[in-house]
Amino acid sequence: MTQRAIPYYWSSVDWPRFMADYPPPPTFAGAMAALSDEQLHELQDKRFRDRVREAWAVPFYRDRWTAAGLEPGDIRELDDIAKIPAFTSDDLKRSIEDEPPFGSHQNFALEAMATPLKIQSSGGTSGLPRPTLFDPVAWEAQAIQFARAFHAQGAQVGDVLQITLTNSLANTAWCSSTAAMNWCGLVPLTTGSGVVTPSKRQLELAREWGTAGWVAFGEYLKILAETAVREGIDLARDLRTRFIHTYLGVDVEGHLRKLLSAAWGCEIFDNYGTHEVGLIGFECEAHDNLHVNDDTAVLEITDRESGAPAGTGEPGNLIVTSLHRSVPPIIRYDLKDLMRVSGRRMCGCGLRTSKLSGFLGRSDEMVKLKATSVYPRSAQDVIQGDARTTGEFLCVVETVGEGLASRERMRVRIEKRAGVQDPRLEADMAKMLHTAFGVSVDVEIVPPDSLAPLTGLGGEGKVKRLLDLR
Ligand SMILES: [Zn+2]
């Protein structure tokens, strides 16, 4: 049998060209500032046209676009983007079911193996997770997105970056460690989650090896802070943490940020990203919304009901088009995440980009209660803000009654802090959640640490806040 040629990683990309196309720090800020709005639009337009051309060769896109009455000549420029039908993760799921194991949206061939490839995956609460392939360009461009974030968040060459997500199927940990080592001179310390390296050991390593920055989910930072108290470690005094790169979830009022900042004695930086297109937005030291990696993604916000473009500054579904990803292209992916986007402007930190709000909720987790749209994750603000709770909660939705008399009911199970015996807690929470949701919900106060098996807290993935029993 003839062996096929090995596609060596180091020779698969024109690296100087790649670095000019997707500038890593510290040149990123200057490169973006040097572009006028017209020049950035031109750059995005050029990359968009390249990605659209590639997408026409992918059955998933060709079939969907043709069914929508489009022909290749109809999408001439970025300004035509809204003509293209958006897709959701359900469409990807169907594409995989129809053409297992990778789906009709992929455009690589393992038989040809023309470039090095890596399989990562996302989601998959039922059945197999959705696979996404990475070629070296997608892999390194997504690492550069993270490197820009670390740099804007105060990382300095030689800093130890402790990454408390596991290098496994999901790619946040991989992006972080690749960014640290390849693109910003940090020393990645890949401890993985608490499942891989126990929380006490995580803190001991940080103390002994001088961790300067952390990559961790907000919920896990709370667990580490509680472990520190138990073990007699003073986070602010015994550790040398300067910055924390995290994902705060819905934290409009900033309760979780304040809590973490007080516990760790350092600045907290929120970020937003998604598996297929990488880190879309990152916070800088000015803490003024999130910077968008404009050269790697085009963002649109659409009305969550009608799908029409939302007004400037209005919250709606985030639709993203990747500008760097060819294997496979990602064009108008409706992420069902509620966000706000604002235009390009100069930030106090010296970066000139579009800005993205923090995460506002999941529109596919929306529950209709008495004709009111309720987003379970928006309970986070209220619950994190009350010191009588651990901040942990789970919204349980079920149908009660039969036939015409049936209705949907939501019960919010909230953990109280150990030792709290306040008989008013339940009523107080019900009142505050009524205000937050605009409709009354049932509240059930439960013991500390009792929800983790249902929310997945402390595990590998994102924490679940909705249990749908309908
Ligand atoms: Zn900034």
Dihedral of the alpha carbons of 211, 250, 172, 89, in degrees to the nearest 10: 180
Give the distance (Å) from ligand 1 centre to CA of residue 64: 38
Give the distance (Å) from ligand 1 centre to CA of residue 55: 33
Best-predicted range by mean pLDDT (98-102, 122-126, 460-464): 98-102
Give the distance (Å) from ligand 1 centre to CA of residue 290: 8
Say whether pLDDT at 4 is over 60. yes
**Position 200 confidence tier, pLDDT thresholds 50, 70, 90:** very high
The residues, ordered by sequence, that sit 6+ positions from 304 with a Cβ below 8 Å of its Cβ are 316, 317, 338, 363, 366
Give the distance (Å) from ligand 1 centre to CA of residue 93: 37
Residue 126's pLDDT is what? 53
Which tokens in the block code for residue 277? 């297109």
How confident is the model over 391-414, as pLDDT tens digits? 999 999 988 887 777 788 899 999
Say whether pLDDT at 449 is over 70. yes
Report which of residues 25 and 1 the model is more confident about. Answer: 25
The length of the chain, given as a count of residues:
470
Say whether pLDDT at 460 is over 70. no
Give the distance (Å) from ligand 1 centre to CA of residue 148: 11
Give the distance (Å) from ligand 1 centre to CA of residue 331: 27
Averaged pLDDT for residues 362-377: 83
Q: Which residues pair with 300 in a beta bridge?
A: 319
Give the distance (Å) from ligand 1 centre to CA of residue 145: 14
Give the distance (Å) from ligand 1 centre to CA of residue 313: 18
Say whether pLDDT at 124 is over 60. no
Give the distance (Å) from ligand 1 centre to CA of residue 28: 12
Averaged pLDDT for residues 97-124: 84
Give the distance (Å) from ligand 1 centre to CA of residue 284: 5
Give the distance (Å) from ligand 1 centre to CA of residue 420: 41
- How far apart are alpha carbons 177 and 404 in whole angstroms? 54
Residue 459's pLDDT is what? 67
Which tokens in the block code for residue 47? 């990359």
Which tokens in the block code for residue 386? 């009350």
Residue 238's pLDDT is what? 97
Averaged pLDDT for residues 193-221: 96
CATH number, domain 366-468? 3.30.300.30
Give the distance (Å) from ligand 1 centre to CA of residue 20: 22
Give the distance (Å) from ligand 1 centre to CA of residue 58: 37
**Position 464 confidence tier, pLDDT thresholds 50, 70, 90:** confident
Say whether pLDDT at 454 is over 60. yes
Say whether pLDDT at 456 is over 60. yes
Residue 43's pLDDT is what? 98
| DSSP symbols for 346-387 | E-TTS-EEEEEPPP-EEGGG-EEETTEEE-GGGHHHHHHT-T
Give the distance (Å) from ligand 1 centre to CA of residue 43: 21
Residue 213's pLDDT is what? 98
User: What sign has the CA pseudo-torsion 260, 264, 266, 271?
Assistant: negative
Do the bridges between strand 466-468 and strand 389-400 make them parallel or antiparallel, or are there none, so unpaired?
parallel
Give the distance (Å) from ligand 1 centre to CA of residue 184: 18
Residue 45's pLDDT is what? 98
